[in-house]
C-alpha cells in the first residue's frame, strides 16, 4: 500500500496527519506531481481523476478523495478520529475545513494556470468570501469542538489554516479571530503537524 501525494496539498497533508496520529507505519508516502491540467502517469493510472491523495492498495482498487482515504485509514487503524458520539459534528467540521481548502486552492489555480490578463477578480473575491465566512463561523460556533478530543474535523481545519499561511500569507485570516488563531497556534505544534508542514 502507498499514499500518493504532494507536500503542498492541504488535502494530502490531512491524510498524512491522520497517518501520524493513528501511528500507521506500513503505508509509505510517495511524492507525485499533480495539477488540474494533468499529473504524472503514475498518479493518473492509479486515479483516473489525477487527484491527490490517492491510496494505492495491494488487494483492491485505489482509494481516492481525501475524505475517503481518511475514513479508510482511520477504520483500518481503529484510530477513532471519526467518533460515533459526535460523528455529524466531526464530518461537518471536516467539510468546513475542506471547503476552505477548495476555495483557497481555487484562487491559487486561477493565478497559476491562467494568463494574468485572463484572471477573474470576481472569482478571487467570491472564493475568498467563502473562506472568510467559514473562518467567522469557526470563531463563532466551533471553538468548543476544536478544543475537544482530537478528531478529523480539527485536522481538516488545521490543514486548511496552514494552507492559508502557505499560499495566502498576504491576507490576514487571523484578524478579528483571536480564539481561532490561538487554537491554531497550539494545534500546529503537534508533532504530526510539524512533520507534515510543507517547505
Domains of the chain, earliest start first: 2-77 (3.40.30.10), 84-190 (1.20.1050.10)
Question: What is the DSSP annotation of 120-174?
Answer: -HHHHHHHHHHHHHHHHHHHHH-HHHHTSS--HHHHHHHHHHHHHHHH-TTS-TT
- Model pLDDT, residue 186: 98
- Model pLDDT, residue 111: 86
Span 76-125, pLDDT tens digits: 999 999 999 999 999 999 999 999 999 999 999 988 888 889 888 999 99
For 72, other C-beta atoms within 10 Å of its C-beta total 16
What residues are paired with 56 via a beta bridge? Answer: 2
| Cell numbers linked to 5 | 501525494
- Model pLDDT, residue 38: 76
**Phi and psi torsions of 36, nearest 5°:** -65, -20
> d(Cα 161, Cα 170) in Å, to the nearest integer?
13
Instruction: Name every residue whose Cβ is closer than 8 Å to that of residue 113 and which is 6 or more positions away in sequence.
Output: 35, 36, 37
| pTM confidence score | 0.96
- Model pLDDT, residue 113: 83
Successive 10-residue mean pLDDT values, the chain, 199 residues? 97 98 98 86 92 94 97 98 98 98 94 88 95 98 98 98 97 97 98 95
Strands 63-64, 54-56: parallel, antiparallel or unpaired by DSSP?
antiparallel
Amino acid at each position: 500500500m502507498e499514499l500518493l501525494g504532494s507536500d503542498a496539498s492541504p488535502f494530502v497533508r490531512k491524510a498524512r496527519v491522520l497517518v501520524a496520529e493513528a501511528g500507521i507505519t506500513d503505508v509509505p508516502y510517495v511524492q507525485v506531481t499533480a495539477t488540474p491540467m494533468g499529473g504524472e502517469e503514475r498518479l493518473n493510472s492509479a486515479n483516473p481523476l489525477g487527484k491527490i491523495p490517492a491510496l494505492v492498495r495491494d488487494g483492491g482498487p485505489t482509494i481516492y478523495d481525501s475524505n475517503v482515504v481518511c475514513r479508510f485509514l482511520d477504520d483500518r487503524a481503529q484510530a477513532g478520529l471519526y467518533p460515533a458520539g459526535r460523528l455529524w459534528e466531526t464530518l461537518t467540521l471536516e467539510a468546513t475545513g475542506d471547503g476552505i481548502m477548495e476555495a483557497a486552492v481555487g484562487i491559487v489555480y486561477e493565478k497559476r494556470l491562467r494568463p494574468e490578463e485572463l484572471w477573474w477578480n470576481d472569482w478571487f473575491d467570491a472564493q475568498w468570501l467563502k473562506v472568510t465566512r467559514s473562518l467567522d463561523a469557526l470563531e463563532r460556533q466551533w471553538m468548543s469542538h476544536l478544543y475537544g478530543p482530537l478528531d478529523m474535523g480539527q485536522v481538516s481545519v488545521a490543514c486548511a489554516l496552514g494552507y492559508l499561511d502557505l499560499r495566502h500569507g498576504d491576507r490576514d485570516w487571523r484578524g478579528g479571530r483571536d480564539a481561532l488563531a490561538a487554537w491554531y497556534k497550539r494545534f500546529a505544534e503537534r508533532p504530526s503537524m510539524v512533520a507534515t508542514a510543507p517547505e
